[in-house]
Structure 1
Amino acid sequence: MTAHIRFIPVTEIHDPLTLSIGLSGGSGTGKTYTALRMARGIAEVITGKSGAPIGYVDTENKRALHYKAAFPEMAHCDFQAVDQTGHVVGFGPERWIEIIDAAEAAELPVLILDSFSHAWEGVGGVLDMHAIALERLVQEAEKRANGRYTVDPAKYGQLAWAEVKPKYRRLIDRIVRAKCNIIICTRAKPVMQQGFGDKAKNARKTKTRREDVPWDPASDADLMFEMTTMVILDPKAPGCPVHQIKVADQFKGLLDPRAKMGEPTGRAMAEWAKGQGDAQQQKELLDKARDEARKGRNAFTAFFNSDEGKENRALIRTILAECQELAKDADASAEDSDDPFANEKPTLSPEQEAELLSKIETENEANAT
């Protein structure tokens, strides 16, 4: 077996990387239009020509066709829960894998899956599969019990997941290893808040693991963190990457929460995937900013106001809050003395403690009179 294992020098690897981009959001956040615009930019870079085909898997009653005049290069697939004979086939993992296989066979440079939430909560999706498996396991347990004891369905939930999750993980792995670039659109639901204004936070845990993001994607948590980039759009700013769940340093300069994503975003990401972008230089600059912040506020301020800092100020601002915290921690550490006991609380001898206690009691009696 070891004879087939090869370690290849990276200087000999020239195959472009592939992108997997996650866009999530509620109704009216611009997921479909944003995905199409980004896909157009990606396809143009990958193929080297405008008008390159965009694969679009539509689970929402051909909604993407509302944009067919604006995107004539769209190659549309009407993906339904029933087949041509009316038989319910659902949105199980195997069908999505077939879709990706077909897109690769067609040599599509980019594929949009909208809405991939159907793979999780749609007919025949993961939650549906889990419910069916759980029902079967409980029925089998009740048959074995034969009325001798009461079967608790809650005890069989994990067994049901053990049947379903491997099938879904194969789908996630297929997405990660796809040879075409993929943009995945999922729905997001608002999360009930506790507190008000700036102090408001989510009243329950969400899949994003963030208290400051009031949206929860209708998908599996594992999927979001497998993406190259994962953002949640907000109705207040359609098309803008307001909530950045997973954004590598290579892309921080591309994603401005105040600016809509579109063709330029897709082009820049595709250039990075081809190894022709300046993303590595951007990452090195951000790492340098962090290093300066670790030296304290004065060092970071000097770097921020240097020629290099001024030239790249917009990029540095993408991690400004992080750098401020690093500098604050650094200054707090710098206050420590070379004396390892400098911060130790002073200790008193028993005589000193008695004298101090007597003094406090005398002061208290004087104040009382």
Structure 2
Amino acid sequence: MFKKAKRTQAKIKLAITGPAGSGKTYSALRLARGLVGPGGKIALIDTENGSASLYSEQFDFDVLNLEPPFEDASFIEGIQGAVNAGYEALIIDSASHFWEAILDYKDKLDRRGGNSFTNWNEAGKHFKGVLNAVLHSPIHVIACLRSKTEYIIETNERGRVVPRKVGLAPVMRDGIEYEFTTVFDIDLSHQAATSKDRTGLFTDKVFQVTEETGQQIAGWLTATGGQAAPEAPSTQPAPAAKPVPASHPADSGKPATDQQIKNIEALWQRLGYGQEQRQKLFQWLDAEALKGAENWTDLTQEQAARAIGFLSKKASEGGAA
């Protein structure tokens, strides 16, 4: 009945979150190629008006284009089709659309009348059907999730007041990150950090998602010793359509960049936090190294990236430190 548990029996279920322009699709394709190797088969469910096919010259993959209105049955059929066709990895871009489909279905039920709680229960069954198809499929699944975006006002290097787009929580059911093995959060400078990582390979790291990232996960799954994520971003050139700059080193010992500090200050002002919360944050980041620290300039790039992720989440929740 029972048998020895082995990671070789598992397939990664991973989410990539980020605002528009952060490079989710490109990162997912690089990750998938690293996972399955140079000859592995990759499928992609595209709900973004065929945008993934822009990368068809850089990557070898097959695509299923879904058009609105999106329905849960279409996603389930696509996932099962990838499994039956022998694909080794499936990318869903964007998985946020099947959550929006559930919200639309709930809205239709509400317009018909009835109890809202009962309607949510019915809509939830449809959501669970898609989620189960993702989690129980015997292949690697990478789900790209759009982040909610918001514009904050800040002063640029020329002293001009300008709006800037920031990414917050993913467009998906609250708590969805608990369903995935690992969640990569990518910012507009194409740097990734993890809000959840059961592999332990990427915890407290700031990096770019590359083929090597997928190779590390594949090594971990087969228990052959995946190595920790490299902190320096890859220098491999990105495609012309969406270049991924290699000018943002994520060296854990280097001081936070001016842009990181601006991001922290903008989020801090929005949350209305003061010195007491700052000391709590410093303790959470590194109580020993930041003992006595008072300024954001005391942070390293890695600490600043973690602080931005934490504060962005708090801002989206409207919570306290």
Q: Which of 61, 72, 79 is equivalent to 1:74?
A: 61
Structure-2 separation of matches of 1:108 and 1:221: 30
Amino acid at match of 1:247: D
Q: CA deviation at 1:117?
A: 1.2
Q: Is structure 2 residue 109 aligned with structure 1 residue 133?
A: yes
Secondary structure of 2:201's counterpart equals helix
Match runs of 1:126-205 below 5 Å: 126-138=102-114, 156-191=115-150
Q: Is structure 2 residue 89 aligned with structure 1 residue 94?
A: no
Q: CA deviation at 1:251?
A: 2.2
Q: Which of 48, 52, 57 is equivalent to 2:45?
A: 57
Structure-1 separation of matches of 2:143 and 2:7: 26
Computed over aligned residues only, the root mean square deviation of the Cα atoms, in angstroms, reads 3.0
Amino acid at match of 1:219: M
Which of 1 and 2 has greater Rg? 1
Change (3 A) 1:326 1:133: farther
Query: C-alpha deviations, 1:187-220, integer Å up to 9, x for none?
Result: 11125779x9xxxxxxxxxxxxxxxx95021111
Q: CA deviation at 1:322?
A: 5.4
Corresponding position of 1:9 = 4
Q: CA deviation at 1:40?
A: 0.4
Query: C-alpha deviations, 1:246-293, integer Å up to 9, x for none?
Result: 12352226x732x211100011011111222247xx8xxxxxxxxxxx
Match runs of 1:200-215 below 5 Å: 215=168
Corresponding position of 1:307 = none
Structure-1 separation of matches of 2:3 and 2:283: 39
Structure-2 separation of matches of 1:28 and 1:14: 34
Corresponding position of 1:275 = 223
Corresponding position of 1:204 = none
Change (3 A) 1:7 1:17: same
The structure that is strand-richer by fraction is: 2
Change (3 A) 1:14 1:268: closer
Q: CA deviation at 1:321?
A: 6.5
Count of residue correspondences: 231
Alpha carbons 2:16, 2:183 under 8 Å: kept: yes
Q: CA deviation at 1:52?
A: 2.1
Unpaired runs of at least 5, structure 1: 1-5, 45-49, 82-89, 139-155, 197-212, 283-312, 315-319, 329-369
Moved over 6 A (4+): none
Secondary structure of 1:252's counterpart equals coil
Amino acid at match of 1:270: A
Match runs of 1:240-279 below 5 Å: 240-242=191-193, 244-248=194-198, 250-252=200-202, 256-257=205-206, 259-278=207-226
Structure-2 separation of matches of 1:170 and 1:54: 23
Alpha carbons 1:126, 1:168 under 8 Å: kept: yes
Structure-2 separation of matches of 1:32 and 1:214: 16
Secondary structure of 1:51's counterpart equals coil
Structure-2 separation of matches of 1:14 and 1:135: 47
Unpaired runs of at least 5, structure 2: 156-165, 229-250, 253-281, 291-321
Alpha carbons 1:16, 1:275 under 8 Å: kept: no
Structure-1 separation of matches of 2:48 and 2:122: 28
Corresponding position of 2:176 = 223
Alpha carbons 2:47, 2:67 under 8 Å: kept: yes
Alpha carbons 1:24, 1:231 under 8 Å: kept: yes
Amino acid at match of 1:186: L
Q: CA deviation at 1:325?
A: 4.6
Q: CA deviation at 1:9?
A: 3.0
Amino acid at match of 1:96: F
Structure-1 separation of matches of 2:12 and 2:181: 6
Q: CA deviation at 1:28?
A: 0.9
Q: CA deviation at 1:323?
A: 8.2
Change (3 A) 1:264 1:321: farther
Query: C-alpha deviations, 1:14-68, integer Å up to 9, x for none?
Result: 7431111111111110011101000100011xxxxx2322111111111111111
Alpha carbons 2:147, 2:167 under 8 Å: kept: no
Structure-2 separation of matches of 1:247 and 1:162: 30
Change (3 A) 1:324 1:178: same
Alpha carbons 2:199, 2:217 under 8 Å: kept: no
Corresponding position of 1:105 = 84
Alpha carbons 1:191, 1:216 under 8 Å: kept: no
Alpha carbons 2:218, 2:226 under 8 Å: kept: no
